[in-house]
Structure 1
Amino acid sequence: MPPLVKGTVPFGAHRTWYRLTGTPGGEPPAVVVVHGGPGSTHDYLANLAGLAGRGWPVVHYDQLGNGGSTHLPDADPGFWTVRLFLAELDNLLRRLDIADNYVLCGHSWGGALAAAHAAARPAGLRGLVVVSSPASYPLWSREMKVLRDALPPGVDEVLRRHEAAGTTDSAEYRQASAVFYARHVCRLRPWPRDYQASYYEIYNDPTVYRTMNGPNEFHVVGTLRDWSVTKALPEITVPSLVISGRHDEATPAVVRPFRDLIPDVRWEVLEDSSHLPHLEEPARFFEVLEGFLEARCRQGNRSRKEP
């Protein structure tokens, strides 16, 4: 079994929780897993630790504000910014001494954050994996309307009524939201335990999620509503892989900018998945991911495009 280390690293006056599976320092770069939300936790991405059994050290971490990291429920909403989470990621890489040889694998919001990091062209980055991520939140919001319009009759009317009234915590709203989630977030029944763990972490402390995103996946009214990484994508020079699901809330229109604008990129769509392809189609997901890592991301095969 690969060695497992859990702990925290200081980040300013706060602490970031991490879990390291495997031993970094060899030829394969560490795979750093960047979870979604913002305001979720690493739990629903725990099965990526299986890469360590194939020689790839894996780092999971909980972003500030959730999970095992410092919680700040009374922070000013202006505290929670993209810049903050980019700084936290940079700090983690340095503190774990992996900044000279790593791959980022980001899911949903984490993929957009990872792309913003990659666009700065850090010297030690060997590859980028973006899973079910929005390149643009304005585009995401437009696509959410498309998906909502296709829900069964009456469902979106219930959603809109409660959104207008500010009653998104009501049981009726949650029940209507579940229809969307069952189609476009997780098509498995019951939900996998790892996903439930992250879902309840958000429920227990929704500070970051509510501030930056909103009450749910399809009603983005938080501070991210106007944010986009699209203009930065042409600056990414490392080999990149994009994965999404056929039934994903990250629709083809949402994902396509990664494919169109990153110079060295491949896009794989998993036919039986929605927003959690690593849980909905794990065999196919890991086949695609490991193939990419082996072919493009080992230290001796960097394949970097110089600016």
Structure 2
Amino acid sequence: MPETAANGATIHYEISGSPDGPWLVFSNSLGTDLRMWDAQTAMFGRDFRILRYDTRGHGQSDAPSGDYSFDDLGRDALAVMDAAGVDEAYFCGLSMGGVTGMWLGVNAPERFEKLVLCNTGAKIGDIETWQQRIDTVLSTGMAPLVEPVVDRWFTRRFQDEQPAAVDRIRAMIKATPGAGYAGCCAALRDIDLRDAIAAIDLPTLVVAGRHDPSTPVANAEEIHAAIKGSRLVVLDAAHLSNIEQEAEFNETVSTFLKA
């Protein structure tokens, strides 16, 4: 499996899709891994060369102990691109992956054609909530978080209608290393890009979920207002809109990327 050393950690990545297509990078949410993008990889791989990676602390990437920062996570993404020979790419990230996308849009805009920022926020939650989650994970492990997270990430309707899809994500959450989850929570606790993203001058699509309690529509509207010329689309989903509204998500993102 391809991997690269980045900032004191080994980051796992996978390449697939059209060998001659433009590059499209996917970045996962907190508590998942690159497999959260399986449906998008199959669909977008017809036209794009796909680069997916496990964010530090997740999946098959290293999970060093201690706090992470978005300087770490953003540089990890760039290191993976360098290792894969990607000079310039389209980028799609969800939740934590969307924050990484904003960091990249501010700090490395020359590496990207367009940004897709999904179910995310320039400032997500508050310090106290993130710290409570860190303390819980480090003291008791991931188990107490699994069901509350699933209930935030999917509407009850989707959980009832698509239990197998939900179980796949449930398994990813359970398998996430506690140190890695806590480290990324610290990065989310400490980041605030609300002022910085006004400097982003890339075509940007902001995707929100109408029923998303983790990153409400108001967060997406804030990003949309800050990034000049961006487009905002609200889907009938909770947090993992790429899974709950797969067809509409794919069509919305495809139309934007190919425009």
TM-score normalized by the length of structure 1: 0.72
Please tell me whether the aligned partners of residues 45 and 194 of structure 1 are also in contact (alpha carbons under 8 angstroms).
no
1:196 and 2:170 aligned: yes
1:44-101 CA deviation, whole Å, 9 max, x = no partner?
Answer: 22222123443111111012222112233xx3x24x22111111111111111112x3
SS in 2 for 1:123: helix
Match of 2:49 among 57, 63, 77: 57
Code of the aligned partner of 2:5 = P
Partner of 2:109: 122
Q: Trace 1:156-305 onto structure 2 (pairs within 5 A).
A: 169=140, 174=144, 178=147, 181-182=150-151, 184-187=152-155, 188-189=158-159, 190=163, 192=165, 193-202=167-176, 205-213=177-185, 222=186, 224-249=188-213, 250-271=215-236, 273-295=237-259
1:33 and 2:26 aligned: yes
| 1:207 Cα deviation after fit | 0.7
1:139-158 CA deviation, whole Å, 9 max, x = no partner?
Answer: x349x9xxxxxxxxxxxxxx
Q: Distance in 2 between matches of 1:180 and 1:194?
A: 13
| 1:124 Cα deviation after fit | 3.2
Partner of 1:83: 71
Q: Distance in 2 between matches of 1:233 and 1:122?
A: 11
State the aligned residue count.
247
SS in 2 for 1:230: coil
| 1:34 Cα deviation after fit | 0.8
> Unpaired runs of 5+ in structure 1?
1-5, 145-161, 214-221, 296-307
Q: Following TM superposition, where does structure 1 have runs of at least 4 consecutive aligned residues deviating by more than 4 angstroms?
A: 165-170
Aligned Cα root-mean-square deviation (Å): 2.9
Please tell me whether the aligned partners of residues 22 and 89 of structure 2 are also in contact (alpha carbons under 8 angstroms).
yes
Partner of 2:11: 16
Q: Distance in 2 between matches of 1:166 and 1:11?
A: 28
Q: Trace 1:143-158 onto structure 2 (pairs within 5 A).
A: none
SS in 2 for 1:135: coil
Match of 1:133 among 120, 134, 138: 120
Query: Counting helix residues as a fraction of each chain, which structure ranks higher?
Result: 2
Please tell me whether the aligned partners of residues 70 and 103 of structure 2 are also in contact (alpha carbons under 8 angstroms).
no
Seen in structure 2, the aligned counterparts of structure 1 residues 212 and 56 have a Cα distance that, compared at 3 Å, is closer
Report the structure number with the largest CA radius of gyration: 1
> Unpaired runs of 5+ in structure 2?
none
Q: Percent identity?
A: 21
| 1:245 Cα deviation after fit | 1.0
| 1:211 Cα deviation after fit | 3.5
